Amino acid sequence: MSAAGTVRLEGIVKRHGALTVLHGIDLAIAAGEFFALLGPSGSGKTTTLRILAGLEPHDAGRVIQDGVDVTHREPGERDVAMVFQSYALYPHMSVYENIAFPLRMIGTPGTEVDLGVRDAAAKVRIDHLLERKPGQLSGGQQQRCALARAIVRKPKLFLLDEPLSNLDAKLRLETRVELRKLQRALGVTTVYVTHDQEEAMTIADRIAVFIEGRIVQIGTPNDVFEHPASIVVAAFIGSPPMNLLPGTIQRGSVVVGAFESALGREGIGDGPVTVGLRPGALSFADRGMPGRVDLVEDLGDSSIVNVEVGQQLVKVRTQHRPGVREGEAVHLHFAADALHLFDRASGARL
């Protein structure tokens, strides 16, 4: 018996003519979970969300909600609410009417509609804007209106399609915190599509990373950050992303160019690998991987130092102004447990 709000996708395949855009998506989302679908543009995350909503037909696989197969159910029969990237507010209706619309469509009595609308609007702090038309609202207010319209019916499942992408940077940071609080308060299972890995990391309980129509990793933000399952995930997660350098394993050591470091773990055979190092895991020291400072990017409270190591550019994130100058020869230090090793051929984590 499943709890209310669980979602499962089994072997979802979607084709556009000869092109396969989803190659068998399998997902299980727990009740009340905030689940992010993360991936670059065209990776299939929005298509997956639309299939969940019932807005997009698919070629194979099943959608299961609370243990019930809803694959062939119409969008309106699935008890889901969605916030679209464009918000899709009804421009001819006032904010009040927009929020009231889902309630009116299920025949809610007038007084309950009024209570519901005011309650939902208060939750997203737009209760003073109810008489306005969407065209008279700012982007942030429109987004709140769309949220209120989604929560007013108290659905089992929220689907959010890049809801913050049209907001400016400051508002985006504020809204994502509020969104997270709202979701916790309501306890509704939420599936959130974004291409912004930072957003996914901060907001979600778990993340599914989509690359080219496949889920390449599912895990908590920490899992995905600390233990990327493959080179593609490693290269996608983190800002700036992980440095990936060609190296080899020789007799228990990892060799990058002319630099050799202890591997610090057993069970990895000799051979070519890709070495992954997070920019934040690197520091400047008297000894270590030799390089030359190419460029220092000052971010105010931190800096990103671009260091040429052999033919490659390695990014180093420091928490303070680094004591290095452009052109200076430096050594990069890292702890053995900060090393990520990937199979050179398959890209899989070792």
Dihedrals phi, psi of 14, to nearest 5 degrees: -135, 130
The answer to whether the bond into 241 is cis (omega within 30° of 0) is no
CB of 93 to other proteins, least distance (A): 8
Q: Does 132 bind other proteins (CB under 8 A)?
A: no
* From 70-78, 216-224, 281-289, 340-348, span contacting other proteins (CB under 8 A): 70-78
Q: Do 32 and 12 touch, CB atoms closer than 8 A?
A: no
Q: Nearest approach, Cβ of 310 to other proteins (angstroms)?
A: 49
Which of 21, 55, 64, 268 binds other proteins (CB under 8 A)? It is 55
Q: Tokens 């899709």 map to which residue?
A: 88
Does 135 sit near other proteins (CB under 8 A)? yes
Which of residues 97 and 198 has its CB atom nearest to other proteins in the complex? Answer: 97
Neighbours of 184 (CB within 10 A): 12
17 binds other proteins (CB under 8 A): no
Q: Is 154 in the site for other proteins (CB under 8 A)?
A: no
Binding part of the chain for other proteins, among 38-46, 85-93, 180-188, 270-278 by CB under 8 A, reads 85-93
The answer to whether 18 contacts other proteins (rule: CB under 8 A) is: no
Say how far apart CA 281 and CA 339 lie, in whole Å: 9
Q: How far is the CB of 199 from other proteins (least distance, A)?
A: 21
Please give the span between the terminal C-alpha atoms of the chain, in angstroms, as a whole number: 38
Number of residues that make up the chain: 350
Give, as one character, the DSSP assignment of residue 135.
G
Beta-carbon contacts of 279 under 8 Å, excluding residues fewer than 6 positions away, are 238, 240, 242, 243, 304, 315, 316, 317
Whether residue 123 contacts residue 148, with contact meaning beta carbons closer than 8 Å, is answered with: yes
**Residue 58 in contact with other proteins, rule: CB under 8 A:** no
Q: Does 259 bind other proteins (CB under 8 A)?
A: no
Q: Please give the residue ranges that form the binding site for other proteins (CB under 8 A).
A: 53, 55, 74-76, 80-82, 84-86, 88-92, 101-102, 105-106, 135, 149, 153
